[in-house]
């Protein structure tokens, strides 16, 4: 099938991305309303939009997961994926990017949002995904759009190409000039803009701006450059071809303007998408998918109350319908049971999905977000691998009521399946269930989901820090257990040589018995008793880095037993350790913080304020204007580090960390920890 009017065949998939609260969900609503997919345009503030329809999103008035909604425009089908803007929910965006045809990056004229914009544009640039910038909220604009563009330009590696300029009436934007069409329009609320005659000041500014646009395009089109130099007006088709080509080749990032709340600029955006955004054929080529294969990519997983598990996927090649068995690269993903069209949380059963379409497949039990699905004999290789960022904030949770323990476990599995940027760890030592996430709001939403969706009320606490203790002085100590009660007595007697060991050597047990003073068969019991006692040292923590040697003892031919020697070993340690100058050990990690360079000084101050020891400073490789700061830091201080790092970096700073060593902690901080442990015991 050939393309009609230069419009690619097949359903398009477009992601709406951009910094926090820039108006993506509102823009989706405006698109759906403008194209007739919904009757009335809802608002985020009234909680009536197709997007953000979960209770958590409505409650917080922000997107906390992606929304998928489809519509048609001028006979073509489009699926939009509205992605959350908050960095804490960024995984939902990252997981869909590989499969989309193009992205609309919604942003506003706000300098503080530039770092976040840069992060998003980088992801798109690296994946070679064509992208438009939609400069939203120009109803609130207080500066010239060209000034705004200068502000935003550092966020993009390629030129931001202004396609429209606003027309101002009494300091308010009342319409726009389309620089490619050379036409002026006046905005009408919730309906198409009206063409007006381009005259006066707007005409002049329009000419200037058009010339700038053409100049930028001419950087990659020699013939156009010659025309411009010779003052020959370039043919309109050539300009449109260049706009489309340079977008598709990632040479420019076209900028459109509008007001999502009033549906202004939406029609223009849709037309640009229609004519310029690539279609499934180009996307399949970008992903290296061969003709003849049947391939899809899972963008998101939902566990719905009534419909069970839904795998939202884009079909990238072939056709996928009910009853088809799909494979992921590692296992059989399952048999499709139901294909649905999605309109936010509302799903509607439909027939098989063709290449290009984005739908929800039912009951793919073993499919995970990010999986490449295929139906051939041999599973298709993974076309994308999007690893979630490691968690930066943790909470320990438990079911409020013991009876919900099993339910909590099942709910957590589903929660993590829906959102792989959450991880759950069971701490075998403290028996805590620790949930790691991307920030405060992320974890808060996770606990709300557990309550609202899975019906498990939970309690949350700060996770226990892995403190240990050790000793600084050696000792030789006798442990004697003797009990005479009626018939059989109990007798065990050991002498232990206890010595501190170098850091991170753990525990060693040796026996140096001569002459059988402690019979061989009782020795393992002595060791068990020692291990028992080391679990709770005099400070209340596990004792590490000690060597214990059994050097002497005695036994009784009738009264000695495994149990008696075990108790003797325990007594020996328990009596010895308080005399060995016990000391607290705390875990120290190496932390690597990445941040925009202008925030480095603040980051340094944060690290010092948290007992961090700065190891080094570097520019971040491949990241202009970014730094990496490395430091050693106690685990207890990393707990909520992300909150301060984000606030110092307009939300974009982050860190990774790795356990390095245990270090002694003394003085008041240590006393407080010991006292808290005693109080909790």
Ligand X SMILES: Nc1nc2c(ncn2[C@@H]2O[C@H](COP(=O)(O)OP(=O)(O)OP(=O)(O)O)[C@@H](O)[C@H]2O)c(=O)[nH]1
Select from Mg ion, ligand X, none the partner in contact with residue 550, using the beta carbon and a kind-dependent cut-off of 5 to 8 Å.
none
| Residues in Cβ contact with 435 at an 8 Å cutoff, skipping those fewer than 6 apart | 394, 395, 396, 397, 412, 422, 423, 424, 443, 446
Contacting ligand X (CB under 6 A), which of 45, 331, 618, 664? 45
Find the shortest distance in angstroms from Cβ 652 to Mg ion. Answer: 18
Is the distance from CB of 499 to CB of 540 less than 8 angstroms? no
CA distances from 204 to 207, 210, 231, 258, 350 (A): 5, 10, 17, 21, 52
CA distances from 549 to 477, 478, 500, 532, 572 (A): 10, 12, 12, 15, 11
Question: Whose Cβ is closer to ligand X: residue 121's or residue 544's?
Answer: 121
Residue 112 contacts ligand X per CB under 6 A: no
Count of CB atoms situated within 10 Å of the CB of 142: 8
Question: Whose Cβ is closer to Mg ion: residue 88's or residue 242's?
Answer: 88
> Considering only residues 379-408, where is the footprint of ligand X by CB under 6 A?
none
CA distance 621 to 42: 44
Find the shortest distance in angstroms from Cβ 136 to ligand X. Answer: 5
CA distances from 99 to 96, 249, 278, 354, 383 (A): 6, 17, 12, 14, 9
- Site size toward ligand X (CB under 6 A) is 23
Contacting ligand X (CB under 6 A), which of 21, 156, 164, 477? 21
Contacting ligand X (CB under 6 A), which of 12, 17, 22, 565? 22
Region from 22-30, 228-236, 382-390, 496-504 binding ligand X, contact rule CB under 6 A: 22-30
Select from ligand X, Mg ion, none the partner in contact with residue 293, using the beta carbon and a kind-dependent cut-off of 5 to 8 Å.
none
Residue 118 contacts ligand X per CB under 6 A: no
Question: Whose Cβ is closer to ligand X: residue 109's or residue 397's?
Answer: 109
172 bridge partner residues: 169
Find the shortest distance in angstroms from Cβ 18 to Mg ion. Answer: 9
Position closest to ligand X via CB: 85
Question: Whose Cβ is closer to Mg ion: residue 25's or residue 560's?
Answer: 25
Question: What are the DSSP calls for 289-349, one per residue?
Answer: PPTT--EEEEEEEEEETTTEEEEEEEEEESEE-TT-EEE-SSSEEEE---EEEEETTEEEE
Find the shortest distance in angstroms from Cβ 27 to ligand X. Answer: 7
Extract the tokens encoding 580: 């060995």
Residue tagged 């037993």 (tokens) = 561
Extract the tokens encoding 553: 């003892």
Residue 618 contacts ligand X per CB under 6 A: no
Contacting Mg ion (CB under 5 A), which of 8, 11, 12, 24? 24
Angle at 561 between CA 557 and CA 562, to 5 degrees: 145
- State the pairing for strand pair 468-471/475-483: unpaired
Region from 6-14, 79-87, 182-190, 240-248 binding ligand X, contact rule CB under 6 A: 79-87
> Considering only residues 214-273, where is the footprint of ligand X by CB under 6 A?
259-261
Select from Mg ion, ligand X, none the partner in contact with residue 21, using the beta carbon and a kind-dependent cut-off of 5 to 8 Å.
ligand X
Residue 438 contacts ligand X per CB under 6 A: no
Is the distance from CB of 134 to CB of 266 less than 8 angstroms? no
Find the shortest distance in angstroms from Cβ 84 to ligand X. Answer: 5
Region from 17-25, 140-148, 606-614, 633-641 binding Mg ion, contact rule CB under 5 A: 17-25
Residue 41 contacts ligand X per CB under 6 A: no
Contacting ligand X (CB under 6 A), which of 10, 42, 84, 553? 84
Residue 25 contacts Mg ion per CB under 5 A: yes
Residue 94 contacts ligand X per CB under 6 A: no
Residue 140 contacts ligand X per CB under 6 A: yes
Cα four-point dihedral sign 591, 595, 597, 598: negative
Angle at 532 between CA 463 and CA 406, to 5 degrees: 45
Region from 25-33, 108-116, 345-353, 434-442 binding Mg ion, contact rule CB under 5 A: 25-33
Residue 22 contacts Mg ion per CB under 5 A: no
Is the distance from CB of 108 to CB of 135 less than 8 angstroms? yes
Residue 372 contacts ligand X per CB under 6 A: no
Extract the tokens encoding 488: 């059989």
DSSP 8-state symbol, 522: G
Region from 24-32, 188-196, 246-254, 434-442 binding ligand X, contact rule CB under 6 A: 24-32
Residue 63 contacts Mg ion per CB under 5 A: yes
Residue 560 contacts Mg ion per CB under 5 A: no
Extract the tokens encoding 607: 């690290």
Looking at 226-276, which runs of residues are DSSP E strands? 253-257
Q: At what angle do helices 562-576 and 523-534 cross, to 10 degrees?
A: 40
Q: List residues near Mg ion by CB under 5 A.
A: 24-25, 63
Residues lying near ligand X in the complex (CB under 6 A) are found at: 20-26, 43-45, 62-63, 84-86, 106, 136-137, 139-140, 259-261
């Amino acid at each position: 099938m050939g393309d009609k009017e230069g419009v690619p065949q097949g359903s398009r998939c477009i992601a709406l991305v951009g910094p926090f609260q820039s108006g993506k969900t509102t823009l989706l609503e405006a698109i759906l309303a403008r194209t007739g997919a919904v009757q009335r345009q809802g608002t985020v503030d009234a909680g009536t939009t197709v997007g953000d329809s979960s209770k958590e999103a409505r409650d917080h008035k922000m997107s906390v997961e992606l929304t998928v909604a489809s519509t048609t425009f001028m006979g073509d089908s489009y699926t939009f994926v509205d992605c959350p803007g908050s960095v804490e929910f960024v995984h939902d965006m990252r997981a869909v990017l590989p499969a989309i045809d193009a992205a609309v990056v919604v942003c506003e004229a706000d300098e503080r949002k530039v770092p976040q914009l840069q992060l998003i544009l980088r992801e798109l640039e690296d994946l070679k995904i064509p992208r438009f910038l939609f400069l939203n909220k120009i109803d609130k604009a207080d500066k010239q759009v060209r000034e705004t563009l200068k502000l935003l330009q550092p966020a993009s590696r390629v030129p931001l190409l202004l396609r429209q300029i606003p027309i101002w009436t009494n300091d308010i934007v009342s319409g726009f000039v389309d620089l490619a069409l050379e036409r002026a329009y006046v905005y009408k609320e919730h309906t198409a803009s009206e063409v007006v005659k381009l005259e006066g000041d707007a005409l002049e500014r329009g000419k200037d701006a058009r010339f700038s646009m053409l100049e930028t395009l001419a950087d990659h089109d020699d013939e156009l450059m010659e025309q411009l130099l010779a003052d020959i007006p370039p043919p309109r088709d050539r300009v449109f071809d260049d706009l489309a080509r340079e977008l598709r080749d990632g040479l420019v990032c076209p900028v459109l303007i509008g007001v999502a709340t009033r549906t202004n600029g939406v029609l223009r955006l849709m037309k640009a998408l229609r004519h310029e955004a690539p279609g499934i054929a180009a996307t399949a080529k970008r992903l290296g998918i061969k003709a003849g294969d049947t391939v899809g990519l899972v963008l998101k997983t939902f566990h719905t109350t009534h419909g069970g598990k839904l795998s939202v996927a884009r079909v990238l090649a072939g056709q996928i319908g009910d009853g088809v068995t799909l494979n992921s690269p590692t296992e059989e993903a399952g048999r499709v049971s139901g294909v649905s069209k999605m309109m936010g949380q509302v799903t509607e059963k439909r027939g098989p999905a063709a290449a290009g379409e984005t739908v929800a497949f039912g009951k793919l039990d073993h499919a995970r977000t990010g999986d490449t699905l295929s139906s051939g004999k041999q599973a298709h290789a993974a076309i994308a691998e999007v690893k979630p960022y490691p968690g930066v904030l943790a909470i320990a949770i438990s079911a409020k009521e013991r009876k919900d323990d099993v339910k909590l476990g099942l709910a957590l599995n589903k929660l993590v399946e829906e959102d792989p940027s959450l991880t759950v760890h069971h701490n075998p030592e403290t028996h805590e269930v620790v949930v790691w996430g991307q920030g405060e709001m992320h974890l808060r939403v996770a606990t709300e989901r557990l309550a609202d969706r899975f019906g498990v009320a939970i309690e949350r606490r700060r996770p226990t820090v892995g403190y240990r203790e050790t000793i600084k002085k050696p000792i030789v100590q006798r442990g004697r257990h003797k009990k005479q009660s009626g018939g059989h007595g109990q007798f065990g007697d050991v002498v232990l040589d206890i010595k501190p060991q170098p850091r991170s050597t753990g525990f060693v047990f040796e026996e140096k018995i001569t002459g059988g003073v402690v019979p061989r068969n009782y020795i393992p019991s002595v060791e068990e008793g020692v291990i028992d006692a080391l679990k709770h040292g005099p400070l209340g923590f596990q004792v590490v880095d000690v060597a214990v040697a059994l050097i002497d003892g005695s036994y009784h031919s009738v009264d000695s037993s495994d149990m008696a020697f075990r108790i003797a070993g325990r007594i020996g340690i328990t009596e010895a350790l308080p005399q060995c100058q016990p000391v607290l050990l705390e875990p120290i990690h190496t932390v690597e913080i990445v941040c925009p360079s202008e925030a480095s000084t603040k980051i340094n101050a944060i690290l010092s304020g948290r007992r961090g020891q700065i190891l080094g400073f570097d520019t971040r490789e491949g990241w202009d204007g970014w730094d990496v700061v490395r430091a050693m830091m106690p685990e207890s201080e990393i707990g909520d580090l992300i909150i301060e790092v984000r606030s110092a970096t307009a939300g974009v700073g982050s860190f990774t960390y790795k356990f390095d060593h245990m270090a002694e902690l003394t003085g008041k901080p240590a006393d407080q920890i010991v006292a808290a442990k005693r109080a909790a015991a």
